[in-house]
Structure 1
Amino acid sequence: MVVFSFAFYEFSFPANGKATLGTPFQYALFRAIWIASVVSNIGTWMQNVAGVWLVTTLTTSALVVALMQTANSLPAFLLSMPAGALGDLIDRRRLLLLTQGFMAIVAFALGALTLLGEVSALGVLAFTFLLGIGAALNAPVWQTVTTELVPRPVLPFAITLNGVSNNIARAIGPAIGGLIIAYYSPGWVFLVNGLSFLGTYAVIFSWQRTEEASSGPAENFTGALRAGLRYVQYSPAIYAVLFRTFAFSFGASAMWGLLSVVIARKLGLSSGAYGVMLSWLGAGAITGALLMGRAGNKLNFNQRVLLGTLVFVGTNVCLALVTVVYWLYPVMFLSGIAWLMVMTSFSTTVQLHVPKWVQARVVSIYMLVFQAGLSLGSIVWGELADRASLETALLATAVWMLVSMLLAIPFPMRSAEGLDLAPAEHWPDPAVQGTIDPDDGPVVVMIEYHVAAADQPAFRQAVARLTRLRLRDGSLRAGVFSDIADPTRITEFFHVATWGEHQRQHHRFTREDQALEAQVRQLHTGPEPPRVTHFLAFPKTPNVEVATPFETMEGPQ
């Protein structure tokens, strides 16, 4: 057994080759980017503490303070999907360099204005919003980069370590930020954050990323956006996570948005106490990662989310009722464990269920839903705190989170174990006479089966799932028909906007999808395989995909 130490925790690599929490650090590029993310996250958490505390001292409105959370998260709500499309369409390294450079400039500008005494509460909100824009463009790409750095069996541990990096920063950054605020000025914190972005920029600049070969005709931006939405719509495992994510983040936003108000107004304490409270959260999250690394798979992702949500119910009740700060430290510690447990469960489930071609887009939609919950929740709970009381808002949040646990019944989180999402690349190119432009269309593909009457119930179930895959991968319409003269003759069809989009479908079909297609074809009878025919609009006309109302597919989930 090989052993090495990283930071304060000893990671081991078993001789049997089974992945552990320390395995991702065997990959040098992951290790370098992870260290850079720790440094950058420390700067970000210092910035968060300094920004929130500065606004708290510049205004008497709890709503304005809570809007700091909205200023952080609203850009993600507005820009996550465009950022995801960009992440799948252009070089991810260049996009990361652009976003890191932009955030460094914004942080330096805010720091300079603060030190000159020329910033107001609304000004801090505006600069925070600009930093949020940079973070929104950066985040989907940053998350999906992990899949390029480690193999799939190691990915859950790498995602957990990404959460650890943020929570190491949460444990260290607020304390450092609080000390700088207490002895100097929030402006110096903003300048240090700018330096942390420059450090990350240097690491990304040194990354020699290999350009990927293009598979099929290039997508345009709007088509890529539609493809991402369509993929989520027809992926039950993904939209189940999205429902659960929104419910959790909407409730959890109360803790993040109102914690500084609890410390400053209810307990009458200083910025140092606020920083210490966030440090307890970070320490809990780090402990949660280590516990999950040792506990293995004793709890599945669904159980982890339920347990974490229950902890947050208790967190909000304690923030509402407890009046002694020392009692809140263990509460924050347990909340940190719960936060990491829930967020890594959501993120890992999404990334393990998505093939690479659409990964940044789906992750961006997940982040959009998460940030929408935080943004809307911050407004709702902040407004409730202003109109009623702080205690009322926190207790209402606890009730919301308790009720949200019932979503586990209609929207269970599914296991991704054993999924093979590599491109199948098994569809042969159809015979074509003449030249077809990628923009020509629409295209209709028809597949003719012969299915015995006794096999038709099983065929109906399997082909309904296959039809969902056709829609998920780019078809605008799809369906199955039987011949009224010969009911054993069944035709599957799917309608695609352009020839280029159908070519992309060939590359989007995964080995997991291929297994389902094999189930359908096994029920086909006859000496020849199912007959596949391609039809192009006559006469040929340039076409573009037109958004149509989303259809609801019936059949097994």
Structure 2
Amino acid sequence: MTGSAPSSQSAFAPFHYPAFRAIWTANLASNMGSMIQSVGAAWLMTELTQSHLLIALVQAGATIPIMLLGVFAGAIADNFDRRRVMLAAQTGMLLVSAALTITTWMGAITPLLLLFFTLAVGCGTALNGPAWQASVRLQVGPRDLPQAIALNTIAFNLARSVGPALGGLLISLSGPETGFAFNALSYVALIIVLVRWRPETRPPQRRPMLAAIGAGLRFCAQSDPVRRVLLRGFAFGLGAAGFQALLPSLIRDRFGGTEIDYGLCLAAFGAGSIFTALWIGKARRRWGSDKVVTVAAMLFAAVMLPVAVTHSLPPLLVAAFIAGGAWVSTLTTLNVAMQLRSPEDILGRCLSIYQAVTFGAMALGAWVLGMIADYAGLQNALFCSAIWLLLTAFLLRYIAPMPRRDEGRVTP
């Protein structure tokens, strides 16, 4: 399943490539299932425990493995066939989701067991991520790479906008085990597409695992533009984690809401992400990546303030929409900056280091803010998140500005 197409500045140009079309569509279905499962797991935890920390750790559990295993996953992506790595990861996540379905259906699920399954799925995500992101270059031409990254982000956030609302409705009607089963089935389409995909690639030059990891770490440590991207990702991830990690507790404790209300809030977040992803590329070209990342972080911080004090669902939905736009503006811009400044032979490792730093910060942020919520209340935890984002957005623009357009850029 290969193909070529003329490059274009159109946001939808990557869809001219047959491989990208097929993988994008299958990935959308898989992301939809993942979002349904995440809603089910987060809401199930609110029924199993009153602890804000344990509820927040459901969000952290999906990202902790990326922090702990991401660098090894990057070396695996560069040392082995990336398509086969993705197939192994997707198959593993299918099996874990099936086990979670059966355990929940049997009524044997506990808070710690739910966290275990969440961590197991996160391990699959950690293995899949670097190989997945590095494979985008195999699907489209070099000039269409930024648009392809943006479209993959849209696929994720389209699932984020539809999946949570669908998941909330599905879970309210038939229980979380149905949502977990739906997710297990959603992996099948992507596995079939990956089995059929046969990209033309050079055999990877295998190196010892620790030596391969060391090469990636040295490059990221020695490249000043890459170091600044990583610092911006860590700062944003640490503060922005609070919104999604604390949202289930907020819906349950302040609004007395249901899983449908929770799904609607996540849907609003996803809708804001999609709306923004359609034009963020033009915004970067016009104003530059530094201004985009700085303004996005400040917007995210600003919407955390009404989230902390509101007692009405409509303002929370508006805040979620804006936060989704700020989220995708930042993460898409950081991802593009890393891809364009990472050599092909260590691309998987560079992207895994970026994921480990950014998503590791999200896991750390979820844990810290969950503890603050337990000891000082939800409102104070959300205020802390907003203050952190505001301070770092202002300071890092001077301490660690985003790379200029051609600074550190490599030729794919």
TM-score, normalised relative to structure 1:
0.71
Q: Which residue does the alignment assign to 2:105?
A: 115
- Counterpart selection for 1:412 from 377, 390, 401: 401
Q: How much has 1:302 moved relative to structure 2?
A: 0.8
Moved over 2 A (4+): 291-296, 415-423
Q: Which amino acid aligns with 1:339?
A: W
1:22 and 1:257 map into 2 onto residues whose CA distance is: 33
1:55 and 1:140 map into 2 onto residues whose CA distance is: 29
Q: Which residue does the alignment assign to 1:219?
A: 207
1:66 and 1:364 map into 2 onto residues whose CA distance is: 24
Q: How much has 1:397 moved relative to structure 2?
A: 1.1
Q: Which residue does the alignment assign to 1:387?
A: 375
* Structure 2 residue matching 1:297: 3-state secondary structure: helix
The gaps in structure 2 that reach 5 residues or longer are none
Alignment deviations for residues 337-380 of structure 1 (CA, whole Å, 9 cap, x no partner): 11111110000000001110010000000000012111111111
Q: Report the structure number with the largest CA radius of gyration.
A: 1
Q: Which amino acid aligns with 1:379?
A: W
- Counterpart selection for 1:150 from 140, 157, 179: 140
Q: Which residue does the alignment assign to 1:495?
A: none
Q: How much has 1:209 moved relative to structure 2?
A: 2.4
- Counterpart selection for 1:308 from 287, 291, 296: 296
1:326 and 1:110 map into 2 onto residues whose CA distance is: 33
Q: Which residue does the alignment assign to 1:344?
A: 332
Q: How much has 1:213 moved relative to structure 2?
A: 4.5
Between the two proteins, the alignment pairs up a number of residues equal to 407
Counterpart mapping for 1:192-271 below 5 A: 192-213=182-203, 218-271=206-259
Higher helix share: 2
Q: How much has 1:35 moved relative to structure 2?
A: 0.7
Is the 8 Å Cα contact of residues 8 and 144 (structure 2) preserved in structure 1?
A: no
In structure 2, relative to structure 1, the CA distance for the partners of 1:38 and 1:263 (3 Å cut) is same
The gaps in structure 1 that reach 5 residues or longer are 1-12, 424-557
1:229 and 1:47 map into 2 onto residues whose CA distance is: 34
Q: Which residue does the alignment assign to 1:357?
A: 345
Q: How much has 1:411 moved relative to structure 2?
A: 0.9
Is the 8 Å Cα contact of residues 50 and 186 (structure 1) preserved in structure 2?
A: yes
1:98 and 1:111 map into 2 onto residues whose CA distance is: 20
Q: How much has 1:295 moved relative to structure 2?
A: 5.0
Q: Which amino acid aligns with 1:266?
A: R
1:140 aligns with 2:130: yes
TM-score, normalised relative to structure 2:
0.96
Percent identity over the alignment is 35
* Structure 1 residue matching 2:279: 3-state secondary structure: helix
In structure 2, relative to structure 1, the CA distance for the partners of 1:296 and 1:375 (3 Å cut) is closer
Q: Which residue does the alignment assign to 1:170?
A: 160
Root-mean-square deviation (CA), in Å? 1.7
Higher strand share: 1
- Counterpart selection for 1:369 from 344, 357, 362: 357
1:58 and 1:348 map into 2 onto residues whose CA distance is: 40
In structure 2, relative to structure 1, the CA distance for the partners of 1:310 and 1:214 (3 Å cut) is closer
Counterpart mapping for 1:80-91 below 5 A: 80-91=70-81
Q: Which residue does the alignment assign to 1:37?
A: 27
- Counterpart selection for 1:101 from 91, 96, 104: 91
1:302 and 1:156 map into 2 onto residues whose CA distance is: 16
2:282 and 2:334 map into 1 onto residues whose CA distance is: 20
* Structure 2 residue matching 1:204: 3-state secondary structure: helix
Is the 8 Å Cα contact of residues 76 and 371 (structure 1) preserved in structure 2?
A: yes
1:40 and 1:96 map into 2 onto residues whose CA distance is: 13
In structure 2, relative to structure 1, the CA distance for the partners of 1:17 and 1:350 (3 Å cut) is closer
Q: Which residue does the alignment assign to 1:54?
A: 44
Q: How much has 1:260 moved relative to structure 2?
A: 1.0
